[in-house]
Structure formats: C-alpha cells, structure tokens
Structure 1
C-alpha cells in the first residue's frame, strides 16, 4: 500500500505548505504540487514536493511530468495548457497519449475527482483560494492494488469525511 499527497494552487503560501508536509511526512510516500506555488524551486517550503509549473509560476519547474508510482502511471500538470476550466477533453487526450492511470491537475481551484474512460482525474482544489467550496483542501490517495481510496483534508488537517471516495481502477 502506498500513499500520495496532492496539493495545488497555494499561491505564495509558505508556512501552510510546511504544515501540510510536516503533518503527513511519515505517512505518505510522495508529495505532489500541481502548480501555482508561486515559489522558487529552492524555497524550503516546497521542499520534498514534486512540483510542476502553473500559469502564475516562474522558473525551474517542468510544465508537466509523468511518473510510475505504486504500479500506476501518473500524469501531473497544472492544467492551464489544457483548458481545464471549461472541459477535461484536452487533458483526457493527453492522458491517453501518456498512458496515464491517474491525472493530477489544478488551475481551476475546484476540488474534484472523477473517472473518465478508465483514468482517474484529480483536482485537489486550492489551499489558498478555493472555488465552489469554502474549505481550503488537499488530497491523499491510498493506492492498494485495484482499490484507490481518496481522502480530502482541510488546510487545518481536518479530514472532510463526507468527501472520502473509493475508486476501483484495475491495473
């Protein structure tokens, strides 16, 4: 069993990113930041996060990245280059091209999780400026064979239990 923490759109927050990291550092195996940190890559606050570049970022981050983790292919992007505020269609095509099982993205600041065509699309919302909800959120994925459990947390560490979901996603 492996765990991934996913955060996005922190827009300059530093101590809050450190709180999230320190709260879960022994619990998760990987930490992903889907862009718009507005921090330089050498900022201690973003340390240990695998980070991509958002439309408000500058210097040093890749625009997108793919990685294999816990038997799954992850594709990570901010989403602005795929017009995620209007549709997931462009991102879905990119996920197919990347052979991704799980896509992590941000940009819209809208918390969401859905399976489209066998691919799990995740947007952790924003820990600074959430839209369509009042909670400032991030996610933890618990990957266990074909079962993926999603937990949503508020910035203060409280789990939003009513948003927990289980996805069956065969490898």
Structure 2
C-alpha cells in the first residue's frame, strides 16, 4: 500500500497539484489548504479541515480503509498535537486505526505506538524547526516505511518501523 500525505500548504496551489499527481493508492490532505472544500485542486484527495480552513464543508476527520489498513486523518488542532499525541492516540483507538495522519505543527515525523503508525507530513509551504518543506510517502507492505520528501521530490528522511 502506498499513501501520499500532505498538510499545511496555506493557499499554495502549485504544491498541491504537484504532490497530488504522484502515483499512490490514495492521497490525503491533513488541513490548512485554505481552499474551498470543493476546489478541484483537492478533488482527488481525502481531506479534512484545519484551523485556517473556513469552509464548513470540511469534515473534522476522515476514517477510511485502504488495502486492509484503517486510516484516520485529522488536522490535529482539535487533538492538541503540539503538546502530545495522547488525545490523538485515544481517538485512533476508538476508530481502530492502523494509521493516523495529521498536520498542524508544521513538523514532519513518524512513530509507532501500540501498533498504530502516526505520521505528520510537515508543511509544504511553512515548515518549522529549520526543516525543509515536506510531504510524506507512506508505504506499508511487510513493515511500514515513511519517506519525507521536499518539494523537489528528493528524500529528506526515511523512517522504517522495525519489529522488536
């Protein structure tokens, strides 16, 4: 299974077009696009609303199954992800999620907790922490591998979750 995940483009359509055109089983936008929900730029993506998205058509979360994996996508502002992943962890448990996708902090990262993969793709426009602007490629066959790429589609970092 291959997912392309992005977040926090804050009005920049070119990055959304470039990232959403990449081949994958599914594309996700984790909020703060600042586009209307029905904008054709987002039409091929699962999408949620962020704190900067004013269109009320955006759902607060998306739960879907892709190739046998249950995926929960949120922005993260309603789960206090800048402080802790605990609220998001509990929501993932409620939804029986295998993968949780979220944004909001503009910091990329991936970690596994109790068999649940948490992925923040970072921001495609306004990265924080001295990082490059990034999106994430999540691949899960035998083991999950998350690759963070910059806007030139070059690998910034790869995280492979290994069984202990």
Partner Cα distance (1:148, 1:118) in 2 = 10
Q: Is the 8 A contact 2:25 2:66 kept in 1?
A: no
Matches of 2:19 and 2:115 in 1, distance apart?
30
Determine if the alignment matches structure 1 residue 37 to structure 2 residue 33.
Answer: yes
Structure-2 residue corresponding to 1:90:
87
The answer to whether the 8 Å contact 2:134/2:148 transfers is yes
**SS of residue paired to 1:94:** helix
The match for 1:155 is: 151
Question: CA shift at 1:108, angstroms?
Answer: 0.6
Aligned-pair distance for 1:111? 0.6
**Correspondence for 1:58:** 54
* Cross-structure match for 1:75: 72
Measured after TM superposition, the shift of residue 117 of structure 1 is 2.0
Rounded Cα–Cα distance in structure 2 between residues aligned with 1:43 and 1:95: 28
> Is 1:164–2:163 an aligned residue pair?
no
* Distance in 1, Cα, partners of 2:146 & 2:28: 15
1:7 partnered with 2:6: yes
TM superposition shift of 1:152 = 1.1
Aligned-residue Cα RMSD (Å) equals 1.3
Alignment of 1:95-134 (within 5 A): 95-134=92-131
Question: Displacement of 1:143 after TM fit?
Answer: 1.8
TM-score between the two structures when normalised by the length of structure 2: 0.93
Distance 1:134 1:91 in 2: 24
Report the count of equivalent residues. Answer: 162
Q: Cα offset for 1:168? A: 4.4
Which sections of structure 1, spanning at least 5 residues, go unmatched? none
Structure 1 residues 168, 69: CA separation in 2 closer, same or farther (over 3 Å shift)? Answer: farther
1:15/1:45 contact within 8 Å kept: no
TM-score by length of 1: 0.90
